């Protein structure tokens, strides 16, 4: 049910992809920049502007525009300042899944939220991410979501999430 892939999330054909956003839902760098570029930045920004700002750990949904994915779920992870940020990162995953379930989606792709520009330590982030997904699946046994993917961009990130998933 959880599959870890190496690659570019903008190529994913799941029902939704998740964007590691900022609270203003502005196109940025990293995965956010790649998603805006691939979706069509002008149209996506116009829709994001109607939803902005949101709080760290919240999630909102827009159309996917030129992406294969029908929807983009935008969630700002925390700018890392210490272990107490785990709850906010957990909320990003949990609330993204809740929203996908409300839209009755079957599949969703996540990037490694928070571990780029926002500097969340990678091993801790992987632990929080996998735990949050299991928590959601436990809380929503009848969810429509059948497939959850991670698209991870570099070897180190990929290996870290693989190790974390294999511990379960």
44 part of the interface to ligand AR6, by CB under 6 A: no
Instruction: Give the burial class of 131: count Cβ atoms within 10 A of its Cβ; 0-12 exposed, 13-18 middle, 19 or more buried.
Output: middle
CA nearest to 88, candidates 77, 100, 96: 77
31 part of the interface to ligand AR6, by CB under 6 A: yes
CB contact at 8 A, 4 and 37: no
Q: Is 116 helix (H, G, I), strand (E, B) or coil?
A: coil
Site for ligand AR6 (CB under 6 A): which residue of 85, 111, 136, 158? Answer: 111
Q: How far apart are CA 159 and CA 155, in angstroms?
A: 6
112 part of the interface to ligand AR6, by CB under 6 A: yes
Smallest gap from Cβ 143 to ligand AR6, in A, equals 24
CB contact at 8 A, 96 and 19: no
28 part of the interface to ligand AR6, by CB under 6 A: yes
62 part of the interface to ligand AR6, by CB under 6 A: no
Residues binding ligand AR6: number (CB under 6 A): 25
Smallest gap from Cβ 14 to ligand AR6, in A, equals 13
Binding site residues, ligand AR6, CB under 6 A: 8-10, 20-22, 28-32, 34, 77, 111-118, 151, 153-154, 157
């Amino acid at each position: 049910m959880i599959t870890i892939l190496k690659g570019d999330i903008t190529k994913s054909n799941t029902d939704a992809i998740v964007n590691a956003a900022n609270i203003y839902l502005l196109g940025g760098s990293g995965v956010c920049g790649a998603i805006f570029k691939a979706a069509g930045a002008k149209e996506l920004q116009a829709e994001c502007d109607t939803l902005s700002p949101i709080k760290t750990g919240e999630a909102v949904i827009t159309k996917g525009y030129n992406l294969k994915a029908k929807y983009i779920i935008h969630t700002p992870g925390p700018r890392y300042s210490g272990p107490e940020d785990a709850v906010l990162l957990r909320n990003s995953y949990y609330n993204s899944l809740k929203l996908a379930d409300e839209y009755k989606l079957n599949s969703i792709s996540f990037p490694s939220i928070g571990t780029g520009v926002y500097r969340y330590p990678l091993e801790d982030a992987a632990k929080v991410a996998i735990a949050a997904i299991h928590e959601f699946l436990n809380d929503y046994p009848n969810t429509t979501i059948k497939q959850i993917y991670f698209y991870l961009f570099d070897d180190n990130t990929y290996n870290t999430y693989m190790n974390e998933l294999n511990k379960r």
